[in-house]
């Protein structure tokens, strides 16, 4: 009896373990186990597919970041162009006002609450004022709305001299290496000293900076005169 009991028990336990699951041969178990281990063909193909998917996703993310960066840069450039257009329009208006003062010799006294005066009022003022005389009201009208030392300096230069004088004359009138044959005449000394006094008073430039700025501005006007047919606008810096 005891021998028969021990012979039946292992078979029963084997059936209990196999119940509810398919019977897989031992050789097939080894194959399934190898396919899930690193180095097998199925494992490698699955890893390659996963890596390609990750690389493609990362590439798309980088492209999206580049697009966003380019859009931000484009927006900044558009804002800069808009600012330059506004500055160009403002400088053009200022130059027209100052050139009118150069032609007449003086700026007409500005009425309180008005941006300009009539031609009749300007003519009446000119009859009582000598040409190119320094008038505090005129100077304050020139530099009052100018933003920055650069614009104030430019307006004062055009107040005391015409563009033609600044282009065709030099500060000293002396012969230089660049100008050996055709020596340009000297700027009017009295007007030059008056301009220097005004620049030192109404800007933060010292005497040395004033002379350097005047030389740069004269060169800028010469280039503008040579490029009048060119539509490209180059602001004075």
Contact 117, 110 (CB under 8 A): yes
Please say whether the beta carbons of 216 and 177 come within 8 A.
no
CATH number of the domain where residue 180 is located:
1.10.10.2590
Q: Which residues pair with 170 in a beta bridge?
A: 186
Instruction: Look at residue 53 and tell me if it is in a domain.
Output: no
Cβ distance 219 to 184 under 8 Å? no
Q: Is residue 18 part of a domain?
A: no
Q: How far apart are CA 225 and CA 229, in angstroms?
A: 9
pLDDT at residue 96 in the model: 61
Establish if 88 belongs to a structural domain: yes
Counting the structural domains of the chain, the total is 1
Question: Given pLDDT bands bounded at 50, 70 and 90, which one contains residue 159?
Answer: confident
Domain assignment present for 65: yes
Q: Residue 37: what pLDDT?
A: 56
Task: Classify residue 187: in a domain, yes or no.
Answer: yes
Q: In this model, does residue 185 exceed pLDDT 70?
A: yes
Tell me how far apart the alpha carbons of residues 230 and 88 are, in angstroms, rounded to a whole number. Answer: 15
Average pLDDT over residues 210-215: 90
Highest mean pLDDT among 15-19, 29-33, 175-179, 230-234: 175-179
Can you give the residue range of the structural domain that contains 143? 58-226
3-state SS assignment for residue 186: strand
Neighbours of 197 (CB within 10 A): 13
pLDDT tops 60 at residue 104: no
Share of the chain above pLDDT 70, in %: 49
pLDDT at 35 over 80: no
pLDDT at res. 151: 85
Answer yes or no: is 24 within a domain.
Answer: no
Q: Is the pLDDT reported for residue 171 higher than 60?
A: yes
| Arithmetic mean of pLDDT, 56-79 | 87
Identify the pLDDT of residue 126: 41
How high is the mean pLDDT of the chain?
68
- 188 pLDDT exceeds 80? yes
In a domain, 27, yes or no: no
Q: Are the CB atoms for 105 and 131 separated by under 8 Å?
A: yes
Whether 131 shows a pLDDT value over 70: the answer reads no
Q: Which of the four pLDDT bands, split at 50, 70 and 90, describes residue 113?
A: very low
Confidence of residue 134 (pLDDT cuts 50, 70, 90): low
**Structure confidence at residue 118 (pLDDT):** 46
Q: In this structure, is residue 45 part of a structural domain?
A: no
């Amino acid at each position: 009896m005891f021998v028969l009991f021990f012979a039946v028990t292992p078979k029963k336990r084997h059936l209990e373990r196999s119940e509810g699951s398919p019977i897989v041969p031992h050789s097939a178990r080894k194959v399934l186990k190898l396919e899930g281990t690193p180095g097998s063909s199925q494992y490698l193909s699955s890893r390659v597919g996963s890596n390609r998917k990750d690389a493609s996703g990362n590439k798309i993310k980088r492209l999206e970041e580049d697009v966003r960066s380019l859009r931000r840069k484009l927006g900044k450039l558009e804002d800069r162009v808009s600012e330059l257009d506004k500055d160009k329009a403002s400088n053009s208006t200022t130059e027209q006002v100052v050139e009118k003062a150069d032609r007449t010799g003086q700026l007409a006294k500005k009425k309180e609450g008005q941006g300009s005066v009539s031609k009749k009022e300007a003519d009446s003022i000119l009859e009582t004022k000598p040409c190119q005389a320094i008038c505090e009201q005129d100077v304050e009208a020139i530099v009052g709305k100018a933003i920055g030392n650069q614009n104030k300096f430019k307006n004062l230069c055009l107040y005391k001299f015409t563009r033609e004088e600044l282009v065709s004359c030099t500060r000293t009138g002396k012969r230089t290496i660049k100008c050996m044959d055709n020596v340009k005449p000297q700027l009017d000394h009295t007007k030059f000293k008056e301009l220097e006094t005004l620049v030192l008073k109404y800007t933060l430039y010292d005497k040395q900076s004033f002379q350097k700025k005047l030389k740069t501005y004269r060169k800028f006007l010469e280039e503008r005169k040579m490029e009048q047919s060119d539509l490209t606008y180059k602001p004075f810096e």
